[in-house]
Amino acid sequence: MIETGGELGGRRLAPGERFHFACLPGLACFNTCCRDKRLPLLPYDFLRLRRCLELPAAQVLAQHAELEADPVSGWPTLRIKLTDEGVCPFVTPQGCSVYPHRPTCCRVYPLARAVRPGPGGGPPQEVFLRQETPGCLGWDQPQELDAAAWVRQQGLAPYQAANNYCLRLFMHPARQGQVSLDDRQTHAFISALYNLEAFRPLAASPGFGERFGFEPERVELALAEEQELLKLGVDWLAGVLLGG
């Protein structure tokens, strides 16, 4: 799974390799990069954005997201809907208006992270690649750090943890190659991973846990905590779409 938009390119960073980068409001390139990009919204990105905007999920889906099929996997994916001028709707002259809740792709830049399930159910395996965009002056700044420090500085830990959890669905061993979902499956996918307000009544319905093999305590936790509800949605989808 690749957390950034577009093709995965750039030179792979060696473990611990250091690089110079800082993104600062005073740079001449400030804000110029928040346009003409495919900006993926992974499920946890969407949850954070929705909380920031304080809008119902259905409204954020309708106003700020575009649905497409991932060209590699065929899974439905969401991206931020740009303005007619190709600009991210959240950029302002002062910078990103959703900065504390900006999505993974914006946080991880100027790197890209590709991650896959670890062998034998072990920890996921990840690699970072440099994404050198023409005109980005961040590479010329004195701050020197490695990928781990960048992840810490950008507050990526909860995003990466949630994205890693999705691997059990997105890179499920039962799903090989590009297989499109039908309309009913796509609706279930969007509900369980994005429109949690629509998924919650299903999870709360009598017999849900028994029918789909979830312990009552897990369902209860999911109904109390939205991030747990998202995890439940991932596992529920893996079951109904791929057999578990």
**Contact footprint for ligand SF4 (CB under 6 A):** 23, 27, 29-30, 32-34, 39, 88, 90-91, 96, 98, 102, 106, 109, 136-138
Which one, 20 or 211, has the nearer CB to ligand SF4?
A: 20
Beta-carbon count within 10 A of 93 CB: 6
- Name 16's Cβ contacts closer than 8 Å, sequence gap at least 6: 146, 148
**Rounded CA gap, 81 and 76, in Å?**
15
Residue number with CB closer to ligand SF4 (91 or 221): 91
Q: How far is the CB of 174 from ligand SF4 (least distance, A)?
A: 34
Give 127 or 137: the residue with its C-beta nearer to ligand SF4: 137
Complete DSSP assignment for 135-179: T-GGGGSS-EEEHHHHHHHTT-HHHHHHHHHHHHHHT-TT--S--
User: Shortest gap between Cβ of 138 and ligand SF4 (angstroms)?
Assistant: 3
End-to-end CA distance of the chain: 19
Nearer to ligand SF4, 79 or 231 (CB): 79
Q: How far is the CB of 1 from ligand SF4 (least distance, A)?
A: 19
Beta carbon nearer to ligand SF4, 33 or 229: 33
DSSP 8-state secondary structure symbol assigned to residue 13: P
* Other CB atoms within 10 Å distance of the CB of residue 80: 24
**Closest distance of CB 162 from ligand SF4, Å:** 17
CB of 224 to ligand SF4, least distance (A): 29
Contact of 205 with 66, CB cutoff 8 Å: no
